[in-house]
Amino acid sequence: MKLSQRLTLSLVLTILFSILIISLISNAMINSRFDTYLIEEQESRFESIRNDINALLIEKNQDLTDDDIANYAAREGIYIEIRDSNNNMICHSMEYPGGQRKGMMGHMRRHHGMMNRHFSNTGNYVERTLPLMSNDQEIATLIIGYIDNSHLTESALIFKDTLDKSFVLSGTITIILGFLGSILLARGLSKPLLNIADTANGIRSGDLRSRAKIKTKTKEIVQLSDSINYLGEALERQEELRRRYASDIAHELRTPLTTLKSHVEAMIDKVWKPDEKNLNILLTEIHELNKLVDDLKDTFRTLEGQLNMNKTQFNISDEIDDIVSTFKPIFERNGYALEYLAKDSIEIIMDRDRLRQVIYNLLSNSIKYLGDDGKVSITLDKLDSGVKLSIADNGIGIAQEDLPFIFERFYRSDVSRNKETGGTGLGLSISKALIEAHQGSISVDSVLGRGTKFIIILPTSGSNYQ
Ligand code: ADP
């Protein structure tokens, strides 16, 4: 069923039910109030009739004739009969052939138009007996005959009828309005939904640029449209990344492979001797390739969130000390200095190999970009709930415009590309992913020509301990 049909149906049904319930309840309440009111009215009318006749009876000294009350009875639209205390008839309104009261009422009905109170056609003839008094003594009995639903005067019936009609009328109008309203409402809802569905279908069939453009203020629909658009953007970004990766990987692989190929061809052509020196050049290229493949493997793992952490507790101060002693000879061989300033001895829980990988990465980077009197300082500070590890060099620094991108995959500044330092542009992105997998953060501070400082913050407690 379409949304519009569903909405219209439920709205119309709701209106119908509401009108029905309202009319039933108000009818019942008005009826009961109205009936009591009319019965009370009738009671007070009978009481005033009794008072009038009582007064007449006393005035005429109990000597009333039929004519005395005939007009009165006709005017009130009732039958009147007065009997003395011995139950003998004193007088009565109209001819009263014994037991033929129905006939009498028929007669009354014939004078319908003349009566100022109108009777309904239905109902039974009933009588009320009321005492007529003089000086606190019952001197006679008054019998009033009437049709038992006579309290339902015609105007009352008209009122009730009007009420019912007004319910039917207002019901019909509300249903028509509800119908029109629901059509408008359904259009307002289904139009943006269809637009979103079109967008989703577009994305599904490969048009990743497709975006939902809706003009609605309905919060949920706006959220849905935002989600679809976000999905589209994310897919487009991923697709773009995938394309860039594919071309970047191809490019990165091509350079060492071309070098290898030309070297091997030169050896086959006997232009190049396969001596130890030349074979070592080939080996360096193969190492580069190996590194690239390893980096790619790590990158894809971080991309897929498949970094398996093997967390253990160890002393990070000692660990860095160990790394420094491995790197120190390499630095010194190049005429550079590497110093380590550990103020505190700190225990941490994390993947020891991953930590090594990150520091290796940063140290290998800095060594590539150091100049004369190159120096790298490592500092380890204790924080409230973690450690701060800084690796600062006095190398070539990073240009301000490159800074925001250096943690992106395959990003290499022009300087480093020209420098022929080697490198894949993957190291920092992998380091960042590894640090973030430990709920830590890595940031960079650099001034071109002055040096670069990487700052790593790692928690020593909290979720990292799990
Ligand atoms: P690469 O394999 O090219 O070193 P990285 O992801 O490790 O890739 O680094 C990305 C880029 O950041 C480098 O190409 C270089 O331009 C810059 N960079 C990283 N570390 C330093 C540093 N210590 N000094 C200057 N530039 C750096």
pLDDT digits (tens, 9 = 90+) for 387-416: 999 999 999 999 999 999 899 887 877 665
Report whether 90 contacts 84 (CB < 8 A).
yes
92 lines ligand 1 (CB under 6 A): no
- pLDDT greater than 50 at residue 201: yes
Give the side-chain half-sphere CA count within 13 A for 187.
5
What pLDDT is stored for residue 416 in this prediction?
Answer: 57
The Cα 141–Cα 129 span in angstroms is 7
Three-point CA angle 252, 253, 255, nearest 5°: 75
Of ligand 1's listed atoms, the one at least distance from the Cα of 424 is 2
Domains of the chain with bracketed CATH: 7-154 (3.30.450), 219-301 (1.10.287.130), 308-464 (3.30.565.10)
In whole angstroms, give the CA distance from residue 446 to residue 406. Answer: 11
Query: Over the stretch 351-376, which tens digit does the pLDDT of each residue have?
Result: 998 999 999 999 999 998 998 899 99
Q: Which residues pair with 447 in a beta bridge?
A: 451
Angle at 186 between CA 185 and CA 190, to 5 degrees: 125
Count of CB atoms within 10 A of residue 277's CB?
Answer: 8
Give the rounded percent of residues in the chain with a pLDDT score beyond 70.
89
Pocket test residue of 251, 416, 424 for ligand 1, highest count of atoms within 8 A of CB? 416
Nearest CA owner, ligand 1 atom 19: 365
Q: Is 427 in the pocket of ligand 1 (CB under 6 A)?
A: yes
**What is the rounded average pLDDT of the residues 181-207?**
90
Q: Are the C-beta atoms of 428 and 454 separated by less than 8 Å?
A: no
Atom number in ligand 1 closest to CA 428: 6
Q: Which residues contact 385 (CB under 8 A, 6 or more apart)?
A: 459, 460, 461, 462
Number of the ligand 1 atom closest to the C-alpha atom of 413: 16
pLDDT at 153: 65
Phi and psi angles of residue 453, each rounded to the nearest 5 degrees, phi first:
-130, 120
Pick from 357, 352, 360, 356: nearest CA to 330: 360
What's the CA gap between 293 and 298, in Å, rounded? 9
* Distance (Å) from CA 362 to ligand 1 centroid: 8
Residues 223-252: tens digit of each pLDDT: 999 999 999 998 998 888 788 778 878 877
pLDDT at 109 over 60: no
Output 200 or 181, whichever has higher pLDDT: 200
pLDDT above 60 for 102: no
Task: For ligand 1, say whether the CB of 68 is within 6 Å of any of its atoms.
Answer: no
How, if at all, do strands 451-459 and 441-447 pair? antiparallel
> Mutate which of 403, 428, 454 to test ligand 1's pocket (most atoms within 8 Å of Cβ)?
428
User: Do 350 and 458 meet the contact criterion of CB atoms below 8 Å apart?
Assistant: yes
Q: Give the number of other CB atoms < 10 A from CB of residue 406.
A: 22
Residues paired with 338 in a beta bridge: 376
